[in-house]
Structure 1
Amino acid sequence: AYILMAKLESLPGGDRSQALDSLNRAIEALKDKPVDLSVAYIMRAQLREGKDEQIEDLRNAVKADSTNIDAWQALIAMQLHLERYQEALSDAKDLLAKDESNQMALVAAVEALVRLQKRKDAIELLDARIEKNPSVAMYYRIRAATYRAESYAEGVTDEERDAANKKAMEDLNKAIELDPRDAEALVMRGMLYYQEKEVEKANRDITDSLLIRPDSVSGVLMRSMVAAQEGRFADAIADMEMLVRADPNQLEWIRQLASYYQLDKRPRLAIQLLDQLLEAAPDNAAALRSRGDAKLSVNMHQDAIDDYEAAIKLMEANRDKADPEEFKEEYSGLLNNLSWVMSTSPKDELRDGKRALELALKACEATDYKAPHILSTLAAAYAETGDFENARKWASKAVELGKEQEHDQTEQLEKELESYEEDKPWREKQEIEENEKPLVVPSDSIDT
């Protein structure tokens, strides 16, 4: 009766405190009925507010009935959610000892090992599974995901990254061979093809995956990225708008949509969207940078400078929390963009050659003087200070590297060099003509 009362009070319009009271009474009354007691603990865990209390109830549910797979899986999922990876790993291993075929426990164990930086242990766990049963496609897919995690690990060399990605591709090929309808494996292989710039193959895999699972978030996300890579920005925007509408709390998706607006020459739409994002998350440095870029493209130079300055302060304040490689890439880009506008703005009151040079030198150091567009900014800063000898030196180097790297703005770099050869500083007034073509109406089919 207590369980029934708790179920009724847990329904919309019910009294949560009454439901908890009923479950407390049920737990007292069911001490000698372990199966029912385990169920009662799970129900109470769902109603309790404290995370530790929820864990305690789920742990008690497992103790009461160690055969209750739902209790085990809920406990492991909660541990992962709370980033208690060692506990999650221990519980997942215990469940696998009882139920070797439990897919959730296997996936959780692998995720926990990866999070604990024990990727080799994760691979060994999957190696053993594959050796025992080589016809299970899922094992290859999960191992491929682990190899992919290995390729992104901090400090990994280019050779190690390539080797990990090669193994991931081999596993994905095998997974798809065993199960051609494995939509997740198709998306993962599509991502690898995309990364390797084999866009046609990526497009094929993503299309196939969405025929199998039309509501796949990762599939739609990858389809938008492939479309953008092919210059089909309207299609990329349609997919990303669909994702954002399905989950408007995914700030990274909103920023990605804004970048697609910018690429499609719709900077004012990008600014409008980023204004909304920054209202919700004013400390989002990446969004500030994106809005600064968009404002710069419509000649709002002072506003762009303000956004860049704010983003730099936020990044410097949070440097210790950031991934070193990601920080270096984002930070150098910010320094570069702020230096560029301070060097090249046609508005006299905004230019500051000394500060621009300091910023450009920092950006060059962060990129080991190997980024043509950042060397171009250094040249512009020197030109603004009147040092045309150094401006020509670094502009020449930018052109040289641009040709070596087949940079898409090499022609622009050559024009800048010509200006410095005439002892003229570079001035740039961006005023993108807004794309007025109507956008494709996105689908409503996705369900996150």
Structure 2
Amino acid sequence: MADSYDDALRYRAVKLFTEGDFDSAITLFDELVQNTDDAWDCSWRANTLLLLGRYEESHTTYLRVLETHPDDISTLQHLAYILAACPFSNLRDGNKAVEYATRACDLTAWKNWASLSVLAAAYAELSDWTKAQLYAKQALGVAPGEEKNNQESAIQLYDNQKLFRASPERDRARLRSRLCQWKVPSYGGDNADTPNDK
């Protein structure tokens, strides 16, 4: 019975997430994580917290996922994103962001725009503008059409030696532009996909 309840809760939480009701979704994901401590549920919870601007909680939850899934690309990308671009300085760590982002790039053969983009942001946080521009341009070269404007904006920032900072409002807008192409799955455990919003 517990599994059936958790599966129903999980479906409702993901559906609310895809509908953009993150406040309601996080309540359900909080309950799920307490019930199951499942990495898939933790990942969804971390994504939701990130889009709500609750960066410290999101960071902590992604770290929980990384403990059992050290090569999860999405988790590495999101951790690097928070550490490189969080608006709160106490959470930023450029060196750690480079470490996570580089690992994500290695795992994606240096051909994934999101991994390259967050690596650029990580180097910008370290004021290494040459590498920030290099990887931002590489990200632009492999980015899908709807992301090219964002990557071009990042290049302009780094050309002017300005830092990229995360914004829940911007992140939610970017996510909404892709949700129409994404379907709510039936629960698939650790192998289920989550939308990558970076």
> TM-score over 0.5 for the alignment?
yes
* Structure 1 counterpart of 2:114: 373
Q: CA deviation at 1:342?
A: 0.6
**In 1, distance between residues paired with 2:139 and 2:14?**
26
Relative distance call for 1:254 and 1:372 in structure 2 (3 A) is: farther
Q: CA deviation at 1:407?
A: 4.2
- Structure 2 counterpart of 1:264, one-letter code: E
Contact 2:6 2:32 in 1 (8 A): no
Q: CA deviation at 1:305?
A: 0.4
Contact 2:50 2:58 in 1 (8 A): yes
Q: CA deviation at 1:399?
A: 0.8
TM-score (ref. length: structure 1): 0.36
Q: CA deviation at 1:379?
A: 0.4
Task: Please tell me the root mean square deviation across aligned C-alpha atoms, in Å.
Answer: 1.7
Contact 2:116 2:138 in 1 (8 A): yes
Q: CA deviation at 1:256?
A: 4.5
Which is greater in Rg? Answer: 1
* Structure 1 counterpart of 2:48: 294
**In 2, distance between residues paired with 1:301 and 1:279?**
20
Q: Which residue of 24, 29, 46 corresponds with 1:274?
A: 29
1:261 aligns with 2:2: no
- Structure 1 counterpart of 2:27, one-letter code: Q
* Structure 1 counterpart of 2:84: 343
1:274-323 CA-partner distances (Å, limit 9, x unpaired): 111111102x111111111111111101010010111101224xxxxxxx
* Structure 2 counterpart of 1:384: 125
SS of the residue corresponding to residue 168 of structure 2 reads coil
SS of the residue corresponding to residue 426 of structure 1 reads coil
Q: CA deviation at 1:270?
A: 1.4
Q: How does 1:66-145 map to 2 (within 5 A)?
A: none
Relative distance call for 1:268 and 1:358 in structure 2 (3 A) is: same
**In 1, distance between residues paired with 2:136 and 2:59?**
24
1:248 aligns with 2:5: yes
- Structure 2 counterpart of 1:349, one-letter code: N
- Structure 1 counterpart of 2:152, one-letter code: E
Question: What stretches of structure 2 of length at least 5 have no aligned partner?
Answer: 174-198
TM-score (ref. length: structure 2): 0.79
1:417 aligns with 2:155: yes
**In 1, distance between residues paired with 2:66 and 2:10?**
18
Q: Percent identity?
A: 26
Contact 1:344 1:428 in 2 (8 A): yes
Contact 1:255 1:290 in 2 (8 A): no
- Structure 2 counterpart of 1:304, one-letter code: S
Provide the aligned length of Structure 1 versus Structure 2. 168
1:344-363 CA-partner distances (Å, limit 9, x unpaired): 01101110000000000001
- Structure 2 counterpart of 1:268, one-letter code: D
Contact 1:341 1:351 in 2 (8 A): yes
1:388-426 CA-partner distances (Å, limit 9, x unpaired): 101001101111111xxx343222121111111111110
* Structure 2 counterpart of 1:332: 73
* Structure 2 counterpart of 1:361: 102
Relative distance call for 1:256 and 1:364 in structure 2 (3 A) is: farther
Question: What stretches of structure 1 of length at least 5 have no aligned partner?
Answer: 1-246, 317-327, 434-448
* Structure 1 counterpart of 2:69: 315
Displaced runs of 4 or more, over 6 A: none
- Structure 2 counterpart of 1:291, one-letter code: R
Contact 2:133 2:155 in 1 (8 A): yes
